Structure 1
């Protein structure tokens, strides 16, 4: 830390000199209950205040058995493992207990609690530098104790806190408005999709082009007749599933409800779920060959993402799951119902067990229209009723085959896609602007904190008591407590009861 330009009446010290710091205790989940003494875990840290709304509790006797880990009003807690940081102030009157993976900081003497919290938010990069671990980063109480801090006089600490809170309040209001806009844009996006897939978006267009359109029943009849004709000589023809339309909303006269089978192309495996897990284990993966398409491509929207491959021999065994240009891929587990339309140029490959692929008859149905329809809240409300697994949402081929799909003429599909693309491009631009402004607000917060802890946010007052005297009092109080046997003990790994 650069102390060459120390602000007047400031002094250089470490966190260990001005704060009591300790690691938490590993409470056992078998002791958790809905009432009693709340346990402060990392999930209760918001980056502002500790939130006990969803906190677990332990029996009241733990307050005595684990008194070393009592959390009091005004204490600061910080994440120590994984999500490092998020300094949060405990503002409840009732005591709580500190769980493992959290650090407790209790400012000594008259040190301003909010000043310490804001400093920790500013020192997030330092905390990360001190963290250890490969997959999961961790810091300890000793790591925090060693952090250097330029300590201003007590009166200036309060002025700094007041100024930060005033400036942050203005930023909070601006960010709240931006997030509200983002939410409204999401609602608007869904309303556009609903209007698109129910015919409302192109109502005027249909009125102007009525002479070019056939009825929905005539359109479906023509498609099915063509399918039967093309099937001739290929064995027994199976009619597509008939959709029960009695409970479905009304659609335009030139539209018709159909099953997914009516829209797929006349090819074997046009609608296909991925292979069983045992048929595609990770031990079959190779460095290059035939690509394995999974949820990572669908969720990211990038068909080139990922580097999982199988060799030609395995590909031939699983060729029924092969993809081709303009196929639609649907995610089945977790983030269900996400759709990707494969581009014209793709790597040859297969889908994995977490996807379904559909090859459409491109002469009657545009995959982009399917993506709009399948990702609309209008359809999601139908399949979410049936898509609940034991621990996560799960979609399957049976559910999709029983869903109702709307079919309109190819020229109207193109008109809908064009209108939606135009509207979505405007929404995308506004969402990008919101994200940029939110990022700018975040950078402004960091600039405010940086100025605050370098003495540039508020003016110094030479009449303030020097911070060195505040530090001397804290040291004297600690020495006195140590002589009297009242000094707080740093919590050990296993110890629960405080001893003096």
Structure 2
């Protein structure tokens, strides 16, 4: 805060700006609130309204707007309606009748109150120095801030909506990719190999399995996932018919050690890639038992198949040994592009989850269910083109996301910049004909001195 203040401004203290409204006997805990009711409950949390109640005896009401300060959270809320105060930490402030409450509200929003965690912060407000312009200028500042910050809020709302749009964009790209729409023009300009048939694909997979020493995967005759519309040149097969191997990792949790062989769980696949940053390790003996069963290699697809995150997938993209739990592994043949396989599962994740998972307390995608999933395969050349286009469009989305994050940061700084400018006296013009703030302050002090003294320790009641 600047050490110099404009002409006709004055400095004052908390006690000359505010009176505090008591919440004795009126506070309610969040757990006691309801989803609907006659009166909103306002607490110190970031959510503006925490719930509702119908008990009129708990209501705080005032003819003029009030300000709530969160003692623990530092949240500042503008209240211009009857409400019920939340639990501990809610400080209800009423400004002096001679002051513009909206101006004081914005002043508090600009006040630098350093976080002390969940400790109390109300002392910072009580010890702060308050800047008072003439009353007419307070009104001009408040009106200008209302106008400018409403524009900032509109811009922020539009920016905040973009991530959801990008998520839908990615999903539409994946849907177009695995339905053939993304490469429709490409197919018209490129010939498809004549022998790309179900029988030819099966024969190729059988030969590759035999060369690697893998056993055939049993095909389940139960109903599989619903098919999507796809080009007639593409082939539909069950995963059990085209995968070289489908198996899973540990069922019991190995002993985690400070060092050893890397070990990951379902939560390490939540970002669509493998995440080893938690640094979990297991012994060589336990690792060998698990690794020999799964042997993850670059290009294999890992899929969470039990618990939270079921259906999340990631391609193996590391060349060191690791083990895992609650994750299934699909070893693909050479004729399936690993990125195409992941794109297919990402595009069909919701359908697979709804149609294939089962279980009581937590979802479960068994190896048999995985094998039963039908996958549609374009020829390898088209798979490569699909992956290229998906990666290109996703890179565009990621570029937009970076710009959105940068814009959000600038908007957050813009709000504080506008507030800071207001309280340096630079946001609206000063009028030398305005009654000086010193005169206004003297009148407030005289009125308070003439008012009947409240009993010590008592606060204004609602």
TM range (shorter): 0.7 to 0.9
1:306-337: CA deviation from partner (whole Å, max 9, x where unpaired): 22223334434544466443333345554554
1:173-228: CA deviation from partner (whole Å, max 9, x where unpaired): 44444445554443332222111011111223233333424344234432454367
CA contact (8 A) 2:244 2:332 kept: yes
1:289 matched to 2:270: no
CA contact (8 A) 2:61 2:83 kept: yes
1:358 matched to 2:344: no
Q: CA deviation at 1:171?
A: 3.0
Q: Which of 348, 352, 374 matches 1:404?
A: 374
Which residue number corresponds to residue 275 of structure 1? 251
Q: CA deviation at 1:23?
A: 8.9
Query: For residues 15 and 285 of structure 1, do their structure 2 counterparts lie closer, same or farther at Cα, with a shift above 3 Å needed?
Result: farther
CA contact (8 A) 1:243 1:257 kept: no
CA contact (8 A) 2:315 2:339 kept: yes
Q: Supply the distance in 2 between the matched residues of 1:397 and 1:406 (Cα, whole angstroms).
A: 21
Structure 1: gaps of 5 or more residues: 64-68, 491-497
1:249 matched to 2:228: yes
What's the RMSD between the two structures over aligned residues? 3.7
Matches within 5 A, 1:62-81: 62-63=58-59, 74-81=65-72
CA contact (8 A) 2:27 2:85 kept: no
Q: Supply the distance in 2 between the matched residues of 1:333 and 1:339 (Cα, whole angstroms).
A: 14
Which residue number corresponds to residue 190 of structure 1? 171
Q: Supply the distance in 2 between the matched residues of 1:402 and 1:85 (Cα, whole angstroms).
A: 54
Which residue number corresponds to residue 471 of structure 1? 441
Q: Secondary structure at the match of 1:344?
A: coil
Which residue number corresponds to residue 146 of structure 1? 127
Structure 2: gaps of 5 or more residues: none
Query: For residues 61 and 365 of structure 1, do their structure 2 counterparts lie closer, same or farther at Cα, with a shift above 3 Å needed?
Result: same
Query: For residues 230 and 146 of structure 1, do their structure 2 counterparts lie closer, same or farther at Cα, with a shift above 3 Å needed?
Result: same
Q: Supply the distance in 2 between the matched residues of 1:208 and 1:170 (Cα, whole angstroms).
A: 49
Q: Supply the distance in 2 between the matched residues of 1:246 and 1:184 (Cα, whole angstroms).
A: 27
Which residue number corresponds to residue 261 of structure 1? 240
Q: Which of 98, 101, 111 matches 1:113?
A: 101
Which residue number corresponds to residue 322 of structure 2? 349
CA contact (8 A) 2:239 2:374 kept: yes
Q: CA deviation at 1:162?
A: 1.8
Q: CA deviation at 1:401?
A: 4.7
1:454-479: CA deviation from partner (whole Å, max 9, x where unpaired): 22222222222233333344444445
Query: For residues 183 and 483 of structure 1, do their structure 2 counterparts lie closer, same or farther at Cα, with a shift above 3 Å needed?
Result: same
1:162 matched to 2:124: no
Q: CA deviation at 1:433?
A: 2.5
Which residue number corresponds to residue 278 of structure 2? 306
Q: Secondary structure at the match of 1:258?
A: strand
Which residue number corresponds to residue 339 of structure 1? 313
Q: Secondary structure at the match of 1:471?
A: helix
Aligned residues: 455
Q: Supply the distance in 2 between the matched residues of 1:95 and 1:246 (Cα, whole angstroms).
A: 52
Which residue number corresponds to residue 434 of structure 1? 404
CA contact (8 A) 1:259 1:403 kept: yes
Which residue number corresponds to residue 11 of structure 1? 10
Q: CA deviation at 1:101?
A: 4.1
Query: For residues 395 and 238 of structure 1, do their structure 2 counterparts lie closer, same or farther at Cα, with a shift above 3 Å needed?
Result: closer
Q: CA deviation at 1:452?
A: 0.9
State the TM-score, normalizing by the size of structure 2: 0.83
Query: For residues 295 and 456 of structure 1, do their structure 2 counterparts lie closer, same or farther at Cα, with a shift above 3 Å needed?
Result: farther
Query: For residues 292 and 265 of structure 1, do their structure 2 counterparts lie closer, same or farther at Cα, with a shift above 3 Å needed?
Result: same
Q: Which of 124, 132, 143 matches 2:116?
A: 132
State the TM-score, normalizing by the size of structure 1: 0.77
1:52-91: CA deviation from partner (whole Å, max 9, x where unpaired): 4x6232533444xxxxx6687622224444xx34422123
Query: For residues 170 and 38 of structure 1, do their structure 2 counterparts lie closer, same or farther at Cα, with a shift above 3 Å needed?
Result: closer
